[in-house]
Amino acid sequence: MDPLWIFGYGSLMWRPDIPYEECRIGYIRGWERRFYQGSTDHRGVPGAPGRVVTLLPKSGALCWGVAFKVPHVETEKVLAQLDHREKGGYQREQVRFDGRDAELPAVEVLVYRAAPDNPEYLGPADMQDMAQQIRVSCGPSGPNLEYLIQLVAFLRRHDLPDAHAHELLAHAEAS
């Protein structure tokens, strides 16, 4: 059986609360990270959702993140944990992951992505409006702004590009 690799592109990058035996920084091709998914169970509440990231297909795009290799004996437990954590509109997909270290082989990763047809999907909005929503939203996992700050801090610490996240944080900090 092939090992299970999970791709983190949101809070899993900076708060990987799953057991793993290896992690690699790298990217998936053809996807972009966007703050278009509503969160009423982690970074917001029903009636006042926060905004968290999802992936949208885009030709030529690269979404940088982290691939985590799950120990074989933990596979079922990790999948159950992530299925619960990502229950708010996310679905599983298999994609190819290329590591920043080009000497390591590419691997197939499991990624949780919220498609636009799920009931929590908020979609695009004016950058200032999204920043305002993130500034005021809070849920059981904490303030939505913390999520954005931690995400951008991880990207900066590892020198990973993401113009959307950086611009959104700049708007959130300016107000």
**Positions marked catalytic:** 86
**Computed from CA positions of residues 67, 70, 72, 75, in that sequence, does the dihedral angle turn out positive or negative?**
negative
- Mark 117-128 as b/e (b = at least 16 C-beta within 10 Å): eeebebeeeeee
Q: Which of 93, 151, 113 is nearest to 37 (CA)?
A: 113
What residue type is 157 in one-letter code?
Answer: R
> CA angle at residue 148 from 64 to 84, to 5 degrees?
80
Q: How many residues are recorded in the chain?
A: 175
